Structure 1
Amino acid sequence: MKKLTLAALTLASSVAFAADYQVDAAHSAVTFEIGHLGVSTTAGRFNEFDGKFTYNENSGSVEFTVATASVDTNHEARDKHLRSPDFLDVKQFPTLTFKSSSFDGEKLVGDLTLHGVTKQVTFDVEKIGEGNDPWGGYRAGFEANATINRSDFGITYFIPGVSDATEITVFIEGIRQ
């Protein structure tokens, strides 16, 4: 199950109507960074996600779903632990989702559901670009950033050894439908 909605919304387009886009997962990424023991930062990503978005100049919407079992930190033992009930508990919570409620051209606000808990999260969004692709389609790309506290979502294992604050970055390229 894959749907992603986190950061595909901030385009100063000359189009006066909302356009629908499907996330191109091959050219998109959902990443995170979290502190370890106060001495380093561990980076990771989710490899399976999907989503869609609409937007016009200063409004739009996003829906996004991530398969939590696809967590990847380039270390299999750590990834196995992240999938366990100590962290993501992927058997009980196989997806995390985001559904936007507002977008003003720079801030994307919506509900993030992680570990069975839904909280409002605000992403800072930057439009990277838009234009025709070589295959006759039209694409738009964005980067969105937010910091959440994992404890707000009931994930409290080993705080402060693994920091509470988690930085999320979503790189989205969408294909207009």
Structure 2
Amino acid sequence: MSTAVKTKWNIDTAHSEIIFKVKHMMISTVTGHFEDFNATAETDNEGFIGADFHFTAKTASINTKNGDRDKHLRSDDFFNAELFPEILFTSRSFDGSTLVGDLTIRDVTGEIQLDADFNGIVVDPYGQTKAGFEMSGSINRKDFNLAWSAITETGSIVVSDTVKLTAFLQFIKEQ
């Protein structure tokens, strides 16, 4: 019995972005992303069915375009970037439209499910083979010990529990 050879794909960070959105005061949305991240995929087919995806992001690289808020997010109220420097994701399954895997934030690992659009494979003008994906889903931040909360004088929650995740990923086929 022969085993299919797997092709490795590395993230093209110049053409990829990992974004999160969370409601603030329940009237507006704050958007952020991670500046320092890495991802790989390994697959034995052109549709990436059953591919193994791995992702890491440096928690200290969080960027919401507000220095005070970013410092708070790096603190123990949220990510504790000093003690837990990375967010990790390892896939369990990919059927072409749904990516299921284990997400680790702080010291908690939980299964998440992301809707995934595989946008295909192309060869760029420099001869590199690239594959593109768009993925989205949401998590409850409190499930991952991101439990800081506050209530305003009028009773509004400062930060919602639901965090929306969106990833625009472009991978380069390893030569």
TM-score by length of 1: 0.87
Name the aligned partner's letter for residue 63 of structure 1: H
The 2-side partners of 1:154 and 1:174 are apart by 31
- Structure 1: 4+ residue segments shifted above 4 A: none
Q: Percent identity?
A: 40
123-132 or 38-47, larger mean C-alpha shift:
123-132
Out of 107, 110, 113, the residue aligned to residue 122 of structure 1 is: 113
The 1-side partners of 2:13 and 2:80 are apart by 24
Matches within 5 A, 1:14-163: 18-55=6-43, 56=45, 57=47, 58-158=49-149, 160-163=157-160
**2:153 — aligned with what?**
none
**2:173 — aligned with what?**
176
Shift of 1:18: 4.3
Shift of 1:136: 1.2
TM-score by length of 2: 0.88
Deviations 1:19-75 (A, max 9, x none): 320001111111100000111000000000011002323221101110000000011
**1:3 — aligned with what?**
none
Unaligned runs of 5+ in 1: 1-15
The 2-side partners of 1:39 and 1:170 are apart by 24
Q: Tell me which structure has the larger Cα radius of gyration.
A: 2
Shift of 1:17: 6.2
Q: How many pairs align?
A: 162
Q: Considering only aligned residues, what root-mean-square deviation do their CA atoms show, in Å?
A: 1.4
